[in-house]
Amino acid sequence: MRLLAKISLPLILSFLLTTPGWAQDSLKNNRVDLVDVGRSWLKGHRTKRIDTVPQKEGKLHISALPVAGYTLQTGFAGVLSSNFAFYTSEHSQANMSSILTSITYSQYEQVILPIQADIWTRGNKYNIITDWRYLQYPSQTYGLGGNTSVDSGYNIDYGYLRLHQAILRSLTRDLYLGIGYDLDYFFNIREVDPPSGPGKTTDFERYGFSRTAVASGLSLHLLFDSRRNPINPEKGSYASATYRPNFTFLGSDDNWQSLLFDLRKYIPFPGRSHNVLALWSYDWFTVGGGKPPYLLLPSTGWDAYSNTARGYIQGRFRSRNMIYLESEYRFGISANGLIGGVVFANAQSFTEPASGKFQYLIPGYGGGLRISLNKFSRTNLCIDYGWGIHGSGGFFVNLGEVF
């Protein structure tokens, strides 16, 4: 979620609704964000910031949010989340760079500390991608496959260190090729309250339970990205293919390989509006032989920003292969761009451990609000509610768009 921020929805709505008269403004000349609202509220009259050179090289746009709230996987939590956006060039085709970090402490004694960056050098010649995380993460697991029961869930507790780093070089406009190194280290893994009784064995134990797990490998990246603002694209396309071979000589527990496709399309609809139809496909496969760590298998909500499958708790479904599709329609509500909305639908499918086939399609759907937090980087506070099957549902809150 660009890793889960949480917030009190009633507090924000009451704050916005006490600032009247902005919906009549023109979006083009009078775009407003939450900082403008706060300034006006404190000063007692309407005021807004103006950025005469929004794409000035090196100028930093900061969005920070200390909040408290609730999500399915964390319970009640306190979060400090920050987004830093900037350009390395004033050229009109320059891509916006961004750095996202946060720190979370939750009701379930989870600690979540990510540093995620997408940096573009001058002329978009190089793209430097960073995904570093430290997690102390008591959480739920439900077994393998797409037909697991909600009642099969139980707690696991573990620490997780993730160090993924890649650098890509431009081949031609918007097309990049690169290489990286990925390390995933799980430690102090324990099953807290697994199903007990004669003959009871969890999928984790059948798959191969261990107290530690290490995956270490290279990554090969092919990327096409015609978005100029990845935080909130209004148009363009994104297509990424990542092949990751893991090797024991690099420290991995086993030799195994994965292949990941991340495809996105953004369509202005209607054509002359700021409304956007966004489409997303996220497909994650274990290829060849070998066995990934159980906690590193393709799983619900374990994409780079933990955003797949709104409507379901993170880790709800897990297996060797995953197919995922989502569509979202983003539209304005206030004429000044302060408040917008979305409706979305998604579907996920996982291979069954016995047959290796995709047998079940698992739908989700919902809607939400968008509140402009930084109008210069177009960073929104995203507050969604998603529903899934078997009574699944909950709030999902992001700093920046879901995809």
From CA 55, how far away is CA 34, in angstroms rounded? 20
From CA 50, how far away is CA 290, in angstroms rounded? 56
Residue 33 has pLDDT above 90, yes or no: no
Contact 286, 298 (CB under 8 A): yes
Residue 236 backbone phi and psi in degrees, to 5: 110, 180
Domain annotation covers residue 97: yes
Residue 204 backbone phi and psi in degrees, to 5: -60, -45
Domain annotation covers residue 96: yes
Reference 190, options 136, 114, 265; nearest CA is 136
Residue 106 has pLDDT above 50, yes or no: yes
From CA 401, how far away is CA 234, in angstroms rounded? 11
Contact 92, 85 (CB under 8 A): no
pLDDT at 62: 82
Domain annotation covers residue 1: no
Domain annotation covers residue 2: no
Domain boundaries, position 301: 9-399
Percent of the chain scoring above 90 in pLDDT: 65
Residue 11 has pLDDT above 50, yes or no: no
From CA 335, how far away is CA 46, in angstroms rounded? 16
> Which tops the pLDDT comparison, 379 or 190?
190
Confidence of residue 331 (pLDDT cuts 50, 70, 90): very high
From CA 335, how far away is CA 22, in angstroms rounded? 8
Please give the DSSP secondary-structure letter assigned to residue 402.
-
Domain annotation covers residue 276: yes
CATH number at residue 395: 2.40.160.50
Domain annotation covers residue 3: no
Confidence of residue 14 (pLDDT cuts 50, 70, 90): very low
pLDDT at 19: 39
Domain annotation covers residue 292: yes
Count of domains for the chain? 1
Give the up-direction half-sphere exposure of residue 296: CA atoms within 13 A in the CB hemisphere. Answer: 30
pLDDT at 48: 65
Positions of E strands within 173-299: 175-191, 213-225, 236-246, 256-268, 276-287
Domain annotation covers residue 238: yes
From CA 178, how far away is CA 171, in angstroms rounded? 10
Reported as type and span, the H/E element at residue 40 is: helix 34-43
